[in-house]
DNA sequence: ATAACGGACGTGACCACAAATTAGG
DNA sequence: TGCCTAATTTGTGGTCACGTCCGTT
């Protein structure tokens, strides 16, 4: 089943800007696009059918929507997830519908905007009051920001930021076409199919360590039953211990933007459980045993006079 | 200026049980 | 190594109790 508390490092990058994670797949263009690129490109081609990206692998167009899991899945992930056990097989799934024009991944858009502005201004360095802006961070957030911070102005001046706008892409790394070399060629995904990013993670170096993440094909994220996230790294993986100024800037900006756009509303991971909870009997808001609740119902109705009406027992 | 009071608001605990996950054979 | 079964854990929503904040007296 799907877990929402783990990090998916496998998200496919946008085919247009090569920086942000893709959010949609355009069937007409046969291209994966982030929210901002999708909005820009399809402003003139609004008739293109687009679908979301699979929430499990984030690297293939969604083909089905699982009502029980409230998740859009590609055919491969759907087959894998829903063949796991007889119960999963019973999940109701419907073909994914093309999204109307106007969809945009706000987070990607805002993040790109911030990055573009920074680069346009020709200065990717943190502002003088850089740290002051984080005085309101939670301690653990601050630790995450502090971890691995190493500002290297020389590298910045040498033009390592001269890549596509809104990108922290390291042009010294040759991009890998996952679609051709991985997914379609039978690339095996991690055993734990995950599809969302926990806000507890804080800064998740999605685009920042894109170069390194491209080399991290063997890494496996694991979430144990207490919710602790463990990252297993193979010896071949290069960890981003020293971040470039651009990488650092991108991380900071992404974090700031994410903090702004944090959504505190409750997220439902299992729609089936929600549906069941809504139908369950209650006594003063608490879940009640079916037999007990039935007895209470009988008691309530037996205590009402024959002509009593308008009283709705709260179960 | 300070204390007391009360209303508004926010937060966490509680409950049962299907579903998901893990452990062991 | 893979399969099966049993045991354990997770997640779900409405209500209540409690604490905090703020305005009024």
pLDDT digits (tens, 9 = 90+) for A264-278: 556 788 888 888 888
Q: Is the pLDDT of residue A156 over 60?
A: no
Pairing type for strands A93-95 and A24-26 reads unpaired
Structure confidence at residue A173 as a pLDDT band (50, 70, 90): very low
CB atoms within 10 A of CB A186: 7
Yes or no: say if A10 and A206 are a contact pair by the CB < 8 Å rule: no
Closest residue by C-alpha to C1' distance, nucleotide C10: A225
Report which of A248, A192, A230, A223 is spatially closest to residue A10, judged by C-alpha positions: A192
Residues in chain A: 315
Q: How far apart are CA A42 and CA A50, in angstroms?
A: 10
pTM of the model: 0.34
Q: How far apart are CA A271 and CA A279, in angstroms?
A: 13
Of the listed ranges A41-45, A142-146, A177-181, A287-291, the least confidently predicted one is A177-181
State which residues between 209 and 248 of chain A bring their CB within 7 Å of strand C. Answer: 225-227
Structure confidence at residue A204 as a pLDDT band (50, 70, 90): very low
Closest residue by C-alpha to C1' distance, nucleotide B19: A273
Interatomic distance A266 CA / C14 C1' (Å):
15
* pLDDT at site A101: 53
Spatial neighbors of A64 by CB under 8 A, at least 6 apart, are: A72, A73, A75, A78, A93, A94, A95, A96
Q: Is the CB of A284 under 7 A from strand C?
A: yes
Angle at A309 between CA A303 and CA A310, to 5 degrees: 115
Q: Is the pLDDT of residue A19 over 60?
A: yes
Task: Give per-residue burial for A72-85: e unless 16+ CB within 10 Å, then b.
Answer: bbbebbbebbbeee
Q: Is the pLDDT of residue A43 over 60?
A: yes
* pLDDT at site A21: 72
């Amino acid at each position: 089943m799907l877990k929402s508390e783990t990090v998916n490092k496998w998200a496919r990058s946008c085919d247009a800007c090569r920086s942000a994670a893709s959010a949609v797949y355009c069937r007409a263009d046969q291209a994966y696009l982030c929210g901002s690129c999708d909005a820009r490109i399809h402003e003139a081609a609004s008739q293109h059918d687009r679908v979301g990206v699979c929430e499990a692998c984030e690297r293939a167009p969604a083909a089905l929507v699982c009502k029980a899991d409230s998740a859009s899945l590609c055919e491969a992930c759907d087959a894998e997830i829903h063949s796991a056990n007889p119960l999963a097989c019973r999940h109701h799934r419907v073909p994914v519908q093309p999204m109307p024009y106007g969809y945009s991944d706000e987070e990607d858009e805002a993040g790109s905007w911030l990055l573009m502005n920074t680069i346009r201004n020709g200065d990717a360095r943190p502002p003088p009051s850089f740290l002051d802006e984080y005085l309101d961070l939670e301690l653990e957030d601050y630790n995450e920001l502090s971890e691995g911070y190493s500002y290297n102005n020389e590298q910045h001046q040498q033009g390592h930021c001269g890549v596509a706008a809104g990108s922290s892409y390291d042009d010294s790394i040759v991009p890998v076409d996952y679609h051709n070399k991985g997914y379609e060629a039978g690339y095996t995904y991690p055993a734990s199919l995950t599809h969302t990013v926990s806000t507890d993670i804080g800064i998740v170096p999605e685009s920042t360590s894109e170069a390194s993440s491209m080399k991290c094909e063997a890494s496996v994220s694991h979430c144990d039953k207490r919710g602790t996230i463990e990252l297993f790294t193979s010896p071949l993986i290069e960890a981003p211990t020293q971040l470039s100024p651009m990488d650092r800037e991108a991380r900071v900006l992404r974090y700031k933007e994410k903090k702004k756009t944090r959504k505190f509303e409750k997220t439902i991971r299992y729609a089936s459980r929600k549906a069941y909870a809504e139908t369950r009997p209650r006594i003063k808001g608490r879940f009640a045993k079916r037999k007990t609740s039935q007895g209470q119902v009988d008691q309530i109705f037996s205590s009402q006079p024959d002509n009593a009406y308008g009283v709705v027992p709260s179960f």
